[in-house]
A = this chain, B = another copy of it.
Amino acid sequence: MATLSVPDPVPSPIEDAEKLRKAFQGWGTDEKAVIAVLAHRDAAQRKQIALAYEEKYNENLIKRLESELSGDFERAVYRWIFDPVEREAIMANVALKSKNVDYIVIIEIASVNSPDELLAVKRAYQARYKHSLEEDIASHTTGDFRALLFALVSTYRYNGEEINANLAQSEAKILHETITKGVFNHEEIIRILGTRSKAQLLATFNRYKDEYGSSITKALTSETPNDFALALRTAIRSISNPKKYFAKVLRNAIDKSGTDEDALTRVIVTRAEKDLKVIKEIFQKRANVALEHAIGKEISGDYKNFLLALVGN
């Protein structure tokens, strides 16, 4: 369930465009007015507002926002304004072009989306960048990271519910042997995580826990504490239970000495229209504090006001 709240009745796109234009004019920007409009419109409505704004003022709304706003607030609005598919195509591209490839973002996009949602992101990526996401991943990464990211992103997974219990058993065994016996055969782990259906993977992870007494993510934490193991854990957790995974990302983003604004923004912006309500509940159970409260203590200013508006405060 979403946390986004949209007023009823919702103003027309033209009225909203006019409000934004007014907020931009004069000395300084009226950020509160920007938040009051944009943080309370869904993806389709935001698109209509951008079209109405462009038509009426002959100016690109997104470019204008970039010049009006700044810092974390600007980055959050720039993520939010796009519809989910376009946004994730942009996020993937930014992640690939950063100095150290931000593989967590790529793994999330590949793992949390359904096969058809991921396909839509790949199509949007191609339309925008004139390349495939796959070729950009393959040419910006190397070794095991390349193999893992490439498999996760390129496979068009089977999305059915049928599972094969024997296969779950045999592949749980392969995973256990390769993780705990120090062999750590990346090729087999990547093959299994990168190609099996999500239902099949859940069966395999459950079997792993039943058979070996602890979860595969725990085994990865204790046996092989390195970046690649972290990437594998991210894939496993975001495939197994995206909402629980995102609640944990939020906790890490806030728990740290120093906030991880990128992660905080990413989860709130990408989930506000989808399932942030449930993620908030999980967060509160684990952190013993409401997400709004934790955010309110952690960040400030327009950035805080914007995120709190999306969180449904």
Contacts and interface: CB of A to CB of B under 8 A. Distances in A.
Interface stretch (A52-60, A147-155, A262-270): A147-155
A67 interface: no
Copy tally for this chain in the complex stands at 2
- Chain B CB count within 10 A is highest, among A157, A158, A160, A194, for A158
Nearest to A190: B138
A308 to B, nearest CB: 38
Contact of A155 (B134, B158, B197): B134
A101 to B, nearest CB: 15
A119 B155 CA distance: 11
A288 interface: no
Contacts of A159: 126
B150 A134 contact: no
A126 B160 contact: yes
A103 interface: no
A139 interface: yes
Interface string A117-142: 00100110010001110110011000
9 contacts: A123-B156, A130-B158, A130-B160, A130-B162, A134-B154, A134-B156, A135-B195, A138-B194, A154-B154
A32 interface: no
A2 B162 CA distance: 40
Q: Assign chain A's interface to a size class.
A: 20 to 34
A158 B195 CA distance: 21
Contacts of A122: 156
Contacts of A191: 138-139, 146
A191 B143 CA distance: 11
Interface in A102-122: 119, 122
A201 B35 CA distance: 47
A138 B138 CA distance: 18
A277 interface: no
A196 interface: yes
A89 to B, nearest CB: 13
Contacts of A138: 191, 194-195
A122 B159 CA distance: 12
A131 B196 CA distance: 8
- Chain B CB count within 10 A is highest, among A151, A154, A160, for A154
Contacts of A154: 134, 151, 154-156
Contact of A131 (B123, B134, B158): B158
